Homo-oligomer: A and B are copies of this chain.
Amino acid sequence: MFFVSLIPIRSGSPGEDSERSDAARNRERLLVAARELLDECGVGSLTMDKLAVRAGVGKGTVFRRFGSKAGLMMTLLSDAEADFQRKFMFGPPPLGPGAPPLERLVAFGSGRIGYILEFGDLARLAETSTRNKFEVPAVLLWHSHLEMLLRAAGMNADPYLMAGALSATLDTDRILHAVRAQGITPERLAESWRELVTRVVRQD
């Protein structure tokens, strides 16, 4: 068994322990500049060079602070991500605890679809890391949450891999492609997810 911290996202907050003042200032400048550029030009034309110029810092500084473009995106997403995590771990049912496992599974799918529709462009970039997209802490947390729900629902056929399979079904690219390129409504996607998990957990 492995452990995933509650909110496993590196925070962009200034109160980080032992960070030099200029470093904190530059981080803040970069985050502000990044949000501005995203608002103005869209996610497609955000480059690390432009960002550095806009923030008035050197390019090296950008990468020292965030490691990579994906790392920057994760930081930008951290608030929304933490919010979603809180909802499915501690929030009200059916997404949070209190509802039967199957209902929580269904709600998780809807929630994640909504999350992707709102932050999909950032999330997609956050996944194109040098590291594998499966090793992102948030993804590991989703996975273990699904696995927990599957076990709670009585699933006894390799819940670990089954959680991975269900997780793949909610892949960011797939959802975005379905909605944007194929014109499939989020409701239809959510309904399909409901069918899927219902059939998967149904006991013999």
A-side interface residues toward B, CB under 8 Å?
Answer: 132-135, 157-158, 161-162, 164-165, 168-169, 171, 173-174, 177-178, 181, 184, 188-189, 191-193, 195-196, 199-200, 202
Contacts and interface: CB of A to CB of B under 8 A. Distances in A.
B192 A132 contact: no
Contact of A165 (B135, B157, B169, B173): B169
Contacts of A196: 162, 165, 200
A192 B157 contact: yes
A133 to B, nearest CB: 7
A134 B192 contact: no
Highest count of chain B CB atoms <10 Å: which of A157, A178, A199, A202: A199
B174 A161 contact: no
A44 to B, nearest CB: 13
A157 B194 CA distance: 10
| Secondary structure type dominating chain A contacts | helix
Contact of A177 (B132, B165, B195): B132
A133 B200 contact: no
A43 B192 CA distance: 37
Given A158-B192, A192-B157, A200-B200, A164 B181 contact: no
A165 B192 contact: yes
Nearest to A128: B128
A174 B178 contact: no
Q: Which of A134, A165, A191 has the most CB of B within 10 A?
A: A165
Given A157-B195, A169-B169, A199-B199, 9 more contacts: A161-B189, A161-B192, A162-B192, A164-B174, A165-B169, A165-B193, A168-B171, A168-B174, A171-B171
